[in-house]
Structure 1
Amino acid sequence: MAGMGPAPKPADRKARRNKDTIQQTVLRWEPAEAPELPEFRIERDGQLVEFVWPERTREWWQMWIDSPQADHFGASDWQYLLDTALIHARLWNGDLSAAGELRLRVAAFGATPADRARLRMVFAEADGADQGRGRSGGPSARERFGTAKLRSLPGGKTADGG
């Protein structure tokens, strides 16, 4: 019924106007090749010794190289991920205090389904799975139920508003 409820706010007083208040900076895209895990020395008991990457970290690094996200990594992304590999190695060498930082860092790259959803990443195959029909491919509710009358609700109304 018209006239019920408070009057809408004037447009200049609305908190949300659905436009960006901060300008975007558009950068030139420069893809970069993944670096190899480097060889280097660390100090242990006063001696310089060759750092040995845990096998699990080598597998983890290859997983990132082969990931769909890697197509979108620039040089600074690979450098950040390389630093993250050191944290991964610490974890697999028994330093459990590295787990939290590792989780935060890999989330920025879309490591889990929840991370990818938050970053609005989708896989191309999933995008085209419905052949552009915008649905799963199974029969729609209209096809399954046709024009069958819906069950009655209290007050004699039906779920379809009739």
Structure 2
Amino acid sequence: MSLESTLNTSNAALREGVPAQQTYDYLVRGRMAGRGPAPKQNAVRRNKQPTEELTGKAVEAPPLFKRAKYSTATHRWWDTWADSPQAEAFLPTDWERLQMLAPMVEEYWQGDLKLLAEIRLNEERLGATVRDRQSLRMKLDKIKDEAEADALPEGVIDMDLYRELGGDS
């Protein structure tokens, strides 16, 4: 940097209210004001937690114990968990937690609203919401059905089918 451009930059900084020492440190010494040493160029995070990669593949969930005694709402709740992408990461202890939670969910649907806090807390531990999955470091690949994955977007013509039907001859 030439002396003239340094002075111009320094004068402009002073006009904007930047302290002279800070401007001098930045322009001449090549550093900015701050506390402590500058971070290393290739710093390595040592506290990085492993992530759970979820593919969204269907898993064989255990049946809901004594399913007949539960309402349709509780059946729907259980089936939602059984079909959820995070179910592929569940261990037998996680399924047991859901089995123990089912009676509370049933009572909640019968009108006992104070149980919602306990249900929410247990579901949080299993990754119920986006935020819960982020804190558990669950990473979900958005997998579509094979038919959807192979399907062309709307408005796009399948050229092989077009040729088979005699087009572009």
Output the TM-score relative to the length of structure 2. 0.49
Counterpart amino acid of residue 93 in structure 1: Q
Counterpart amino acid of residue 34 in structure 1: A
Q: Which residue of 1 aligns with 2:129?
A: 112
Q: 1:4 to 1:116 in 2, by over 3 A?
A: closer
Q: Which residue of 2 aligns with 1:8?
A: 36
- Which structure dedicates a bigger proportion of its chain to helix? 2
Equivalent positions of 1:129-148 (< 5 A) are none
Q: 1:6 to 1:123 in 2, by over 3 A?
A: closer
**How far has the Cα of 1:109 moved from its partner?**
1.7
Counterpart amino acid of residue 73 in structure 2: R
Equivalent positions of 1:13-24 (< 5 A) are 18-20=45-47
Equivalent pair of 1:57/1:89 in contact (CA under 8 Å): yes
Q: Secondary structure at the match of 2:138?
A: coil
Q: Secondary structure at the match of 2:65?
A: coil
2:54 pairs with 1:37: no
**How far has the Cα of 1:8 moved from its partner?**
2.6
Equivalent pair of 1:110/1:119 in contact (CA under 8 Å): yes
Q: For 1:5 and 1:72, how far apart are their aligned partners in 2?
A: 47
Post-superposition Cα deviations, 1:15-52, rounded to whole Å, max 9, x if no partner, equal xx8424xxx9xxxxxxx953222229xxxxxxxxxx82
List gaps (5 residues or longer) in structure 1: 12-16, 25-31, 41-50, 127-162
How many percent identity over aligned positions? 34
Greater RCO, CA 8 A, separation 6+:
2
Aligned residues: 104
Q: Which of 70, 86, 109 pairs up with 1:69?
A: 86
Aligned-residue Cα RMSD (Å) equals 3.4
Q: Which residue of 2 aligns with 1:96?
A: 113
2:100 pairs with 1:83: yes
Counterpart amino acid of residue 81 in structure 1: L
Counterpart amino acid of residue 63 in structure 2: E
Question: Which structure has the bigger radius of gyration?
Answer: 2
Output the TM-score relative to the length of structure 1. 0.51
Q: Which piece of structure 1 moves more, 111-120 or 60-69?
A: 111-120
Q: Which residue of 2 aligns with 1:122?
A: 139
Q: For 2:92 and 2:60, how far apart are their aligned partners in 1?
A: 8
Q: For 1:55 and 1:104, how far apart are their aligned partners in 2?
A: 22
Runs of 4 or more, structure 1, over 4 Å off, are: none
